[in-house]
Structure 1
Amino acid sequence: MITRLLTTYSLLLMLFLGFSAQASAGDTLDEKLEPFRGFVGTWQASMTMGKDKPPVLDVSHWQIALNGKALKIVHSVNDGDYGGESFIFWDKKSSSYKSFYFTTADFYTEATITLEADNKFSVIEKVASSGEGLSSGITKVKSTSEMKDGRILVSTSYYKNGEWTKPESRVYIKSQLTPKFKH
Structure 2
Amino acid sequence: MRRRILAAALMGLWTAGAGAAAGGEPSKTAVAAYEPMAPFAPLAGSAWRGEGAGPDGAPIVDTVVYDFILEGRALQSTHRLADGSYGGRTIIFYDEGAKEYVFHYFTTAGFHTTGTVRLEEDGFEAVETVHGHETIAQVRARATIGEDALTVDSLYVDRNGVEKPGRTMTYRRLDARPKLFADGE
Q: TM-score, normalised by structure 2?
A: 0.73
Counterpart selection for 1:156 from 154, 163, 167? 154
Q: Does 1:127 align with 2:141?
A: no
Q: Secondary structure at the match of 1:162?
A: coil
Sort the Cα spacing of 1:26 and 1:63 in 2 relative to 1 into closer, same or farther, 3 A.
Answer: same
Indicate the residue corresponding to 2:7 in structure 1: none
Matching residue's letter, 1:74: T
| RMSD after superposition | 2.5
Task: Determine the C-alpha separation between the residues in 2 that align with 1:62 and 1:44.
Answer: 12
Sort the Cα spacing of 1:24 and 1:77 in 2 relative to 1 into closer, same or farther, 3 A.
Answer: closer
Structure 2 unaligned regions, length at least 5: 1-26
1:65 positional shift = 1.5
Matching residue's letter, 1:49: G
Matching residue's letter, 1:73: S
1:76 positional shift = 0.3
Sort the Cα spacing of 1:76 and 1:128 in 2 relative to 1 into closer, same or farther, 3 A.
Answer: same
Aligned pair count reads 155
1:37 positional shift = 3.0
Higher helix share: 1
Q: CA contact under 8 A between 1:80 and 1:179: conserved in structure 2?
A: no
Sort the Cα spacing of 1:102 and 1:114 in 2 relative to 1 into closer, same or farther, 3 A.
Answer: same
Indicate the residue corresponding to 1:178 in structure 2: 178
Q: Does 1:109 align with 2:113?
A: yes
Indicate the residue corresponding to 1:168 in structure 2: 167
* Structure showing greater relative contact order (alpha-carbon pairs closer than 8 Å, 6 or more residues apart): 2
Q: CA contact under 8 A between 1:60 and 1:74: conserved in structure 2?
A: yes
Matching residue's letter, 1:122: E
Counterpart selection for 1:49 from 48, 51, 54? 54
Task: Determine the C-alpha separation between the residues in 2 that align with 1:180 and 1:79.
Answer: 11
Q: CA contact under 8 A between 2:89 and 2:105: conserved in structure 1?
A: yes
